[in-house]
Amino acid sequence: MKVAIEKLDHYGRGITKINDKICFVENALKEEVVEIKIIKETKKYILASTTKIIKESKDRVAPSCPYSNLCGGCHLAHLSFEKENEFKESKVTEIIKKFTKIKDITIKNIIYDEPYHYRNKITLHSKDGKVGLYEQKSNTIIPIKSCLLVNKKLNEEIKNVLPSKEDIILRIGNKTEEILNQNNKKESITSYIGNKKYQVSAQSFFQVNSTITEKLYDEIKSIIQERNSKNVLDLYCGTGTIGIYVSDIVNNVLGIESCKEAVMDANTNKELNKATNCTYKLGKVEDLTKEITNKYDTAIIDPPRSGLHKKVVEKLLEITPKNLIYVSCDPITLARDLNLLKEKYEVEYIRPYNMFPRTYHVECVCVLNKR
C-alpha cells in the first residue's frame, strides 16, 4: 500500500490516514511517499512499517549505525540532525500548547551539541551466551561491537564484555575517563560536571550527556544568581549534582532522593566539593514533605518521567517558594504539572535541551515565578 506522510508524531513516526483512521509509520518522514506494511490495527489507529521509499524527503540521511534498523535505540537516525533539533523544539511547543491551559508560554531555542559519542553510560543485556542490546520491541539480543551514541573510549570496553547472568552497566567518568565495568569490579568512578567533582556508583542516576548537562546546569546556576536565591530545595536530587553545582552561590541546599546508593554518593560528593552547606535526606519526596518548609525561596525539581507526585504539588502550593526550576525529561508530564501549579505560579519560559540526540527524547528546563 502506498501512502503520503503528512507530518511526524512525538515519537518520530510518520503520520498518514487510511480510510479516515490515523496510521503511524515507522522510518518515514514528512512529505515522503512510501509503501507500507501494516503491523497492527486497532479500532482507533494503525501501526505500519516502511517497506519502500517512493519519494524521499530532502531531510533524510543514511543512518551511520549498522544496528539502527535492529535495536531501535536511535529513533531519528534517518533524519538530519538540523531537522531533529527543529522537530524537538516543535514537539515541546505543540505538547505544551495542547496539554496546558496556559496561554502564550515562551519556548526558547533548543540547546544542542554533538549528535554522537555523547553517552557516558551504556547498559548491555546478556542471554544465551550473547551480549548486546535488545532488538526493537523484543527481548532478543543483538550482539554489538560498538554503539555510535557511546563515548569512544567506553566503546572499546564493549568488545571485552563477557556474557553474564545479569545486565552489565558500563560507565566512564567525564574528564577523568575512569571506567566502571564487570572486568575491573570498581564500586564507583569519579566524574566531573564543570569544575565540580562527583562520585558515581553503578546504580546511581547520573546524567548521561556531560556536555549538555553542563550547559543545562549553567543555565540553572545563572537563574539562581539572578534571583539572589539563598535557601534551595533540590528535589529528586540523585547524586546531589545540581545542588552541589550551585552550592557556591547559596546559603543552604536540602536534597531529597529515594535511591540509597545515590544519597551515599551525594554525601561523598558534598565532601569532595567542600559543600558543607548541602544536606541530603533519603526517602521518596512525597513521604518527606515535612522537610519541605517555607524557609526555602527556590525549589529545583528534577523528577522521573512520571513527573511530580500529587503530595509534592500540594506541598509546593502550600509553601510557595518564590522560584521553581523544573527540569523535565517528559514534556507531557511537565504540561500536566504546570496545569496543577498555575494557580500560584506563572511560567516565565521553557527551554528544550537535546540531551539524547538521535532519539525522540527531549529534556526541558522550565522557570516558574510565584504570582
Inter-axis angle of helices 310-319 and 331-341, nearest 10: 40
Show the cell assigned to 293. Answer: 518548609
Tell me, what's the pLDDT at 97? 96
Mean pLDDT of 232-245: 96
What is the SS3 assignment for 245? Answer: helix
DSSP label at 249?
A: G
- For residue range 13-54, what is the model confidence (pLDDT) as tens digits? 999 999 999 999 999 999 999 999 999 999 999 999 999 999
Round to whole Å and give the CA distance between 131 and 293: 48
What confidence score (pLDDT) does residue 263 get? Answer: 95
pLDDT at residue 201, as a whole number: 86
For residue range 242-257, list pLDDT tens digits in order.
Answer: 999 999 999 999 999 9
Judge whether 259 and 281 are in contact, CB under 8 Å. no
Between the CA of residue 246 and those of 193, 238, 273, what are the distances in Å?
12, 15, 11
In the chain, CATH 2.40.50.140 sits at 2-59
Q: Rg of the Cα trace of the chain? A: 22
Please list, in sequence order, all residues whose beta carbon lies within 8 angstroms of the beta carbon of residue 152, skipping any fewer than 6 positions away.
Answer: 117
Compute the distance between CA of residue 7 and CA of residue 30 in angstroms, rounded to an integer. 4
Task: Give which of 12, 4, 209 is closest to 91, Cα–Cα.
Answer: 12
Question: Is the pLDDT score of 60 beyond 80?
Answer: yes
Q: What pLDDT does residue 41 have?
A: 96
Grid cell listed for 265: 554518593
Tally of CB atoms within 10 A around 53: 16
> What value does the mean pLDDT take over residues 290-308?
96
Q: pLDDT per residue over 96-117, tens digit each?
A: 999 998 999 999 999 999 999 9
Cell of 166: 545479569
pLDDT (0 to 100) of residue 295: 96
Q: What CATH topology corresponds to 2-59?
A: OB fold (Dihydrolipoamide Acetyltransferase, E2P) (2.40.50)
Residue 319's SS3 state is helix
Structure-block grid coordinates of residue 182? 564487570
pLDDT of 195 reads 96
Identify whether 329 is a catalytic site residue.
yes
Question: Is residue 324's pLDDT more than 90?
Answer: yes
What pLDDT is recorded for position 31? 97
In CATH, what number does 82-115+209-370 get?
A: 3.40.50.150
The residue type at 182: Q
pLDDT at 181: 87
Intra-chain end-to-end CA distance of the chain, in Å: 54
Whose cell is 529513533? That residue is 75
Q: Residue 330 carries which side chain, given as an amino acid letter?
A: D
Whether the pLDDT of residue 335 is over 80: the answer is yes
For the chain, give percent helix, strand, coil, nearest 5.
Answer: 25, 30, 40
What mean pLDDT is reported for the chain?
95
pLDDT digits (tens, 9 = 90+) for 117-164: 999 999 999 999 999 999 988 889 999 999 999 999 999 999 889 999
User: Residue 128, Cβ neighbours under 10 Å: how many?
Assistant: 7
pLDDT of residue 21: 96
User: Any idea which of 72-76, 225-229, 308-312 has the lowest mean pLDDT?
Assistant: 72-76
pLDDT at residue 101, as a whole number: 87
Cell of 125: 543485556
Question: How far apart, in whole angstroms, are the C-alpha atoms of residue 362 and residue 371?
Answer: 28
* Spatial distance between the Cα atoms of 150 and 208, rounded to a whole number of angstroms: 9
According to the model, what pLDDT value does residue 202 have?
Answer: 81
Query: Which pLDDT score, from 0 to 100, does residue 72 have?
Result: 80
> pLDDT (tens digit, 9 = 90+) per residue, 191-224?
999 999 999 988 788 899 999 999 999 999 999 9
Cell 545486565 appears where?
Answer: 167
Residue among 147, 329, 364, 366 flagged as catalytic: 329
Q: What is the pLDDT of residue 232?
A: 98
Q: What is the arithmetic mean of pLDDT over 303-320?
A: 96
User: Do residues 240 and 193 make contact, with C-beta atoms less than 8 angstroms apart?
Assistant: no
- Residue 61 is predicted with a pLDDT of 97
Kind and range of the H or E run holding 82 = helix 81-99
pLDDT at residue number 49 = 95
Average pLDDT of 1-11? 97
Angle at 221 between CA 218 and CA 225, to 5 degrees: 135
Give residue 137's pLDDT.
82
CB-based burial, 32-46: b 16+ in 10 Å, e otherwise: bbbebeeeeeeeeeb
Calculate the alpha carbon distances from 319 to 227, 292, 293, 294, 367 in Å.
Answer: 18, 8, 6, 5, 17
Q: Which part of the chain is CATH 3.40.50.150?
A: 82-115+209-370
